[in-house]
Chains A and B, each alone.
Chain A
């Protein structure tokens, strides 16, 4: 079983749609959780940290469920510029971060 499993995608959605990504992790000792965005041939960029209480940044909402060991990302009112690969990341105490396989999102006009 992979340490971090992520919706395979791809997701093709129209502008304005709401899209949700999920990710599950196997190590219950994991300490911190993140969503990264990666554009083609670029480095991953931190989108959001994910907290137990849930957190929101504009159109983006992230949630963590420690009991069920999953994290989620909701994007509301999708824009063309949201097209990218979204990677969930699960970090251990020693910085041993593991990424999900990534979900490719394409937002179409």
Chain B
């Protein structure tokens, strides 16, 4: 199994550009989520989904959109990139239920100039 796959691994954007970070999982997990990791701030939840067609906001959703048209895919869209969105982005997934561990992808390092 590939687990959680994120693409691209690295990306440089200019302010105002838009792009989509891709996330796919092959474990048939119901839950998927996006976190950003910043030095001194830890991991913060951006958006999450409890199943296909259902999404909700996390702690820091502004400037980001998500959709969940299939169980496998959960793309994160940056609408108009800002330098404050420079970060490492992680996608994660798990089965439902409080006994299920969270599985992470290897991250996308995004720089906005």
Partners in one complex: no
Q: Which residues of A are in contact with B by a Cβ distance under 8 Å?
A: none
